[in-house]
Amino acid sequence: MADEEVTSFSEMYDFFLAGITDDMFMELTKEDTEELLQEILLAAIPHFEFPKKDIFNVDLENARFSCLLDLEEKMILRQYMIVEWIGYQLASVENIRQKYSGSDFKFTSQASHIDKLLKLQEQYKTRGFHLQRLYRRRRKRTDGSYESTFDLIMKEKD
C-alpha cells in the first residue's frame, strides 16, 4: 500500500496537537507521548458515526489508517480526540488537585475547575456532532464541487 493512499497516525497526532495546548506532552518521552496519543486516537474513532471511509480498519503495526483521510474527516476525528484528551484531564488526580499557583487559579475551586472541563468537553462533543452532520449532508461531484445529499433523504422507499 503506497503511503499516499493512507493517513499515518503521526499525521493525526500532529493535527491534534496543533489544536491543543498541554505542557504534559513536553514532559513525556517520545515513546510515552506516542502511546498516549494512540490511545486517544483509537478512543476517538468510534465517535465518528458514519464515515464514508473505513476508518475502523487501522494498521496498528505501522500506525496508520488503511485509507487516506481528507481534511473534513481529520477535523471530525480531532474534535473527538480533544473530547478524549479532556477525559484524561478529568481522570488525572494531578490536574484535579490544581497544583497551579497563579492568581487565576487561586480563586477557583476544584469543583469549579472540573465543571469547566466538563463544559469544555461537551462543547467539543457538540462541535464534532455538528461537523459529522455537515459531512453526511454533502457529497463530492466528479468535477470536484459539492452537492447536497438531500435527494437521498427524500428518496421514496421501495
DSSP code string of 70-107:
-HHHHHHHHHHHHHHHHHHHHH-HHHHTT---SHHHHT
User: Is residue 152 one of the residues assigned to a domain?
Assistant: no
Residue 78 has pLDDT above 80, yes or no: yes
Give the model's pLDDT for residue 112.
79
Give the model's pLDDT for residue 94.
54
| pLDDT above 90: percentage of residues in the chain | 49
User: Is residue 148 one of the residues assigned to a domain?
Assistant: no
Best CA proximity match to 110, nearest among 100, 121, 124, 123: 100
Q: If you average pLDDT over every residue of the chain, what do you get?
A: 83
Give the model's pLDDT for residue 60.
96
User: Is residue 156 one of the residues assigned to a domain?
Assistant: no
State pLDDT tens for residues 19-55: 887 777 777 788 888 999 999 999 999 999 999 999 9
**How far apart are the C-alpha atoms of 50 and 39, rounded to whole Å?**
21
Q: What predicted TM-score, i.e. pTM, was given to this entire model?
A: 0.78
Q: For residue 76, what are the domain limits?
A: 3-142
Give the model's pLDDT for residue 115.
84
User: Is residue 50 one of the residues assigned to a domain?
Assistant: yes
Cell of 5: 493512499
Give the model's pLDDT for residue 66.
95
User: Is residue 158 one of the residues assigned to a domain?
Assistant: no
State pLDDT tens for residues 89-103: 887 755 555 555 555
User: Is residue 154 one of the residues assigned to a domain?
Assistant: no
Residue 146 has pLDDT above 50, yes or no: yes
User: Is residue 157 one of the residues assigned to a domain?
Assistant: no
Name which residue leads in pLDDT, 156 or 20: 20
Number of structural domains (the chain) is 1
Residue 141 has pLDDT above 60, yes or no: yes
77 pLDDT tier (thresholds 50, 70, 90): very high
